[in-house]
Copies of this chain bind each other. A is one copy, B any other.
């Protein structure tokens, strides 16, 4: 697939989904749409992802198969200033992919244009209609299931999941990602937005994905969400833990994070507390353990200091650890596989 990514006025700093696609998607990115930085290239800003020209509008983009909305305004609405780009894409017969709270399929103009020109609209945040409660059987699949879990939101669980799966593939294993959030779903072109499903179906949504892929692969890497002690999001975390029935866990943490992101009155716990909680909570459904750590050292400028932080994290966990982006998988992969 050839895709264009809409990221107006937000590339690269506030375009997490766009960056995720540029870094991990198998699709070819033919252009990023950002009217603020048009005329430059992705590589002018970010070094370690696929390159693409940055253009001001869809009219300036090369031919492609899909337009992906790669940013989300606060509130998840649709910005009317994007309408011309979406129109142009749909008139060209492109598919439209978006992860907004506002579903583009429900926009009359867009649905009519898509029907008229043969494009599909995929609102990745709309959960499938056929979800139900878990049967408690995810543990029965052939694949070994590895789940990323975290000390908080936004510590790098999606990134760790992608990096670990790539590393496993590079080592010759048949591995797949089980995506649970919008960016992961866009990258992998399938998945269920677990945070949007009916709460009673949280574990069931994950289980259905494990069952769908579990006999096709040797390893499944399940993208975790939130944290088991998060004041707002722990329900989703808990449902993934029990629904996925993982064989092993990789604990993700950001170096220097001291309080829950956006809930600063809640200090993070000692790392050992998360290990104990995830393992003890999982055990009655399926015994599992934290076998490795993924430390996000993006806030640590100096490589030596980052290496020290990783070593300390590994010591605390009593398992191998790494910053997957900065230092590669190293002995973490061996601990998992």
Q: CB within 8 Å of B: which residues of A?
A: 133-136, 194-204, 228-239, 241-243, 260, 263, 265-266, 269, 273, 276-277, 280-281, 284-285
- Taking CB atoms, residues of chain B closer than 8 Å to A203 are 231-235
Further 12 A-B residue pairs, CB within 8 A, beyond A228-B281, A231-B285: A134-B231, A195-B199, A195-B200, A199-B236, A200-B235, A203-B232, A229-B242, A231-B242, A232-B242, A235-B236, A269-B284, A276-B280
Q: Roughly how many angstroms separate A233 CA and B200 CA in the complex, as a whole number? A: 6
Nearest chain B CB to A150 CB, angstrom units: 13
B202–A235 touching, CB < 8 Å: yes
Would A199 and B204 be within 8 Å (CB), given that A242-B231, A242-B234, A281-B229 are in contact? no
Stoichiometry (number of copies)? 2
22 cross-chain CB contacts under 8 A: A133-B232, A134-B231, A136-B260, A136-B263, A194-B199, A196-B199, A197-B199, A199-B199, A199-B202, A199-B235, A200-B232, A200-B233, A203-B232, A203-B235, A229-B281, A229-B284, A229-B285, A234-B238, A234-B242, A235-B235, A235-B238, A280-B280
Q: Which residue of B lies closest to A232 (CB)?
A: B134
Nearest chain B CB to A263 CB, angstrom units: 5
Q: Roughly how many angstroms separate A201 CA and B237 CA in the complex, as a whole number? A: 13
- Taking CB atoms, residues of chain B closer than 8 Å to A204 are 232
Q: Roughly how many angstroms separate A204 CA and B232 CA in the complex, as a whole number? A: 7
Neighbour of A285 across the interface among B239, B243, B266, CB < 8 A: B266
Interface centre among A197, A202, A276 (most CB of B within 10 A): A202
Q: Which residue of B lies closest to A133 (CB)?
A: B232
Nearest chain B CB to A242 CB, angstrom units: 5
Q: Which residue of B lies closest to A260 (CB)?
A: B136
Neighbour of A200 across the interface among B196, B231, B265, B276, CB < 8 A: B196
- Taking CB atoms, residues of chain B closer than 8 Å to A269 are 284
- Taking CB atoms, residues of chain B closer than 8 Å to A194 are 199
Q: Roughly how many angstroms separate A260 CA and B203 CA in the complex, as a whole number? A: 16
B281–A273 touching, CB < 8 Å: no
Would A198 and B198 be within 8 Å (CB), given that A134-B231, A228-B281, A231-B134 are in contact? yes
- Taking CB atoms, residues of chain B closer than 8 Å to A231 are 134-136, 203, 242, 285
- Taking CB atoms, residues of chain B closer than 8 Å to A133 are 232-233
- Taking CB atoms, residues of chain B closer than 8 Å to A284 are 229, 266, 269, 273
Interface centre among A135, A230, A269, A273 (most CB of B within 10 A): A230
Q: Roughly how many angstroms separate A283 CA and B132 CA in the complex, as a whole number? A: 31
Q: Which residue of B lies closest to A242 (CB)?
A: B234
Nearest chain B CB to A151 CB, angstrom units: 10
- Taking CB atoms, residues of chain B closer than 8 Å to A134 are 231-232
- Taking CB atoms, residues of chain B closer than 8 Å to A201 are 199
Q: Which residue of B lies closest to A274 (CB)?
A: B284
- Taking CB atoms, residues of chain B closer than 8 Å to A202 are 199, 235-236
Nearest chain B CB to A125 CB, angstrom units: 10
Nearest chain B CB to A85 CB, angstrom units: 29
- Taking CB atoms, residues of chain B closer than 8 Å to A285 are 229, 231, 234, 266
Would A232 and B199 be within 8 Å (CB), given that A280-B277, A280-B280, A284-B266 are in contact? no
